[in-house]
Structure 1
Amino acid sequence: MTTSQTPPAKSAAPRWSDLRDRVLSGLAMLAVGVGAVWWGGLFFAEIAVLVTGLMVWELAAMTAPERPREARVMGLMAAAVLVAVLWVHSPFMLPVLALPSVIGVLRPRRDRGIFAGYALAVMLTGYGMVALRLGLGFAAIAWIVAIVVVSDVAGYFAGRTLGGPKFWPRISPKKTWSGTVAGWIGAALVGLIGVALGGDWALVWLSPLLAFAGQMGDIAESWIKRRAGVKDSSHLIPGHGGVMDRFDAFVGAVLMLLAVAQIMPLPLGGG
């Protein structure tokens, strides 16, 4: 007597295997981030300096893995430079933000140009976050955070659920067009909420633009990791890898917002 066995259904567990760690780590970071943004002032600046220093450390470690001590020194120097620029609070100090990039390329390392460019982007992002919080208040940073978080969550669930064509498979093989577009839609909804709360209608088109810039920041970091031959920038955050893995989208979004601010008034009030 023979019995036929129905093969077990393919488990969807691997698709969501990282969800628990992502949620727990995300909630912890969100709690710290919201508290820092709300508190503002020195506390927010300290968080920005810490994140900036850790990102430069991770970047230096990926581009010169044979010199871990030097990477730590680069991270500390980046934090110290940002503290100095924020302390003096003068536009004449802004070129000093390029110091980690300059120092970093004087030593042999993989992809010197990439290190210099991304280190400068990280420094500008750290400075920009503090400047935006100081100049435009809580709402500006909360808006950026909401765009990055909502577009990331919408992209994660849409990409894992719908799948479909890859957005840029050579650099970021997990990203799909469905997830990318879902991120834009989620960001547009954030903009609409901002309008409902009294914001300008420009938020509706500017929010997806920042989401797209954030996605490009994510892809840029994926490219750097791929060139370095690593999966994560470090292992500091369970479920997320390193600090760059979590804050890469902020680099793109903040730099885009700073660029937009040079050509038009931002549709946000101070506070």
Structure 2
Amino acid sequence: MRRSGKQGRWGDLPKRMASALIMLAIGAIEVWLGGVTFAWLVIILTGLMLWELARMQRPVVPWAPVALGLIGSLALYTVLVTSTVYLLPLILVPTAACTFAMGHRKVSMVYALAIMLAGYTLVDLRAAAGTPVIIWLISIVVASDVMGYFVGRSLGGPKFWPRVSPNKTWSGTIAGWVGAAIVGAIFVVFQHEPWELILLSPVVAFAGQLGDIAESWIKRRAEIKDSSSLIPGHGGVLDRFDALIGAVVAILLLGLLFPLPIPNGI
């Protein structure tokens, strides 16, 4: 029997929700614990995302994806363990490796750098500002994704960037900004954070949406649907954390320009 339009539209929801709940539970425990366990989670996820990126980029040699993932994890581990600015250039090693191992070199290099920067910044933020800033970041990404998913699927309307990401609509995109602003307002009211956080949250959400779109563009060039099949209902690790990459890199870059009103639990 042919599925109805409504069933087809929401058919992947149960699987997505189950996977999301599992990831949320693991993430919540790791964020709360912080320290070494949180750092190891980020290191492992960074390696997996680099592995997926290499798989999508038609590697010149078959072992390149595994090698790039291991190189990325080892480089990030070394930088985090030594805690010295002199070894920060190691973050560039996976980016350089993309030049020799994969096609679409510019795309691979830029995205590999974004993955490495996001991994380093996540651990650094958790150590410097405590649990609240990580919860705020994850909440923004989740709220933007959930609001965008439900509103976009329900209302539809004009596409945000059809050539790159044909499923994203303006209604879902704007709903994501609203969801992020609500998250910021919750932190302002209940955590007594600066009111500017309400303005910063949609900006970070938009960066997250751009991170999502960037990965969609890479997948379209590679003519694949998901970065891998590691997470049921969500595809690969990159498919789930692409928005977080964009959001974290935005925090890093904006933080270099001026002080940010981010939550601080220290």
Q: TM-score, normalised by structure 2?
A: 0.96
Q: Deviations over 1:18-47 (max 9, x none)?
A: 101110011110111111111100000000
1:24 equivalenced with 2:47 (yes/no): no
1:171 aligns to 2:171 (yes or no): no
Question: Is 1:36–2:30 an aligned residue pair?
Answer: yes
Change in Cα spacing, 1:73 to 1:185, as seen in structure 2 (3 Å) is: same
SS in 1 for 2:168: strand
Q: Secondary structure at the match of 2:43?
A: helix
**Does the Cα contact within 8 Å between 1:38 and 1:138 map onto a contact in 2?**
yes
| Separation in 1, partners of 2:37, 2:62 | 29
Unaligned runs of 5+ in 2: none
CA drift of 1:65 comes to: 4.9
- Structure 1 residues 157 and 102, CA gap change in structure 2 (3 angstroms): same
Secondary structure of 1:167 counterpart:
strand
Alignment of 1:113-132 (within 5 A): 113-132=106-125
| Partner in structure 1 of residue 223 of structure 2 | 229
Amino acid at match of 1:238: P
Query: Amino acid of the residue matched to residue 66 of structure 2?
Result: R
Could you tell me how far 1:70 is from its partner in structure 2?
A: 1.9
Distance across 1 between alignment mates of 2:60 and 2:152: 36
Once the two structures are TM-superposed, the CA of residue 9 in structure 1 deviates from its matched residue by: 10
Q: What whole-Å deviation, never above 9, does each CA across 1:93-139 have from its counterpart, x for those lacking one? A: 211100011122123x2200110110010000000000000000000
Structure 1 segments (4+ residues) deviating >3 Å: 8-11, 65-68
Give the distance between the partners of 2:218 and 2:253, measured in 1 at CA.
23
CA contact (8 A) 1:61 1:67 kept: no
Q: 2: distance between equivalents of 1:270 and 1:234?
A: 36
* Partner secondary structure for residue 262 of structure 1: helix
SS at match of 1:240: coil
Post-superposition CA distance 1:56-106 (Å, at most 9, x none): 000111112564422111101110000000011112221110001112212
Q: Which residue of 2 aligns with 1:193?
A: 186
Q: Give the structure 2 partner of residue 134 of structure 1.
A: 127
Tell me whether 1:75 sits opposite 2:78 in the alignment: no
Query: What amino acid does structure 2 have at the position aligned with 1:44?
Result: F
**Which of the residues 232, 236, 245 maps onto 1:238?**
232
Aligned positions of 1:82-101 closer than 5 A: 82-101=76-95
**Structure 1 partner of 2:253:** 259
2:173 to 180, 198, 203: 180
Letter in 1 for 2:156: G
Q: Computing the radius of gyration over CA atoms, which structure comes out larger, 1 or 2?
A: 1
Native 8 Å contact 2:59 2:103 kept in 1: no
Work out the percentage of aligned pairs sharing the same amino acid: 52
Residue 10 of structure 1 and its aligned partner are, at CA, apart by: 4.7
Number of aligned residue pairs: give it.
263
Q: Gaps spanning 5+ residues in structure 1: where?
A: 1-7
91-100 or 53-62, which deviates more: 91-100
Q: Distance in 2 between matches of 1:48 and 1:249?
A: 15
Letter in 1 for 2:260: L
> 1:261 offset after TM fit, Å?
1.1
The within-5 A match list for 1:142-153 is: 142-153=135-146
Q: Are residues 68 and 239 of structure 1, via their aligned partners in 2, closer, same or farther at CA, if it must alter by over 3 Å?
A: farther
Q: What does the per-residue CA deviation read over 1:219-250, in whole Å, with 9 as the maximum and x for residues that have no partner? A: 00000000111100001000000000000001
Q: Kindly indicate whether the alpha-carbon contact (under 8 Å) linking 2:12 and 2:233 is maintained by their aligned counterparts in 1.
A: yes
* TM-score, normalising length: structure 1: 0.94
Deviations 1:185-216 (A, max 9, x none): 00000000010021111110000000000000
Backbone CA RMSD of aligned residues:
1.4
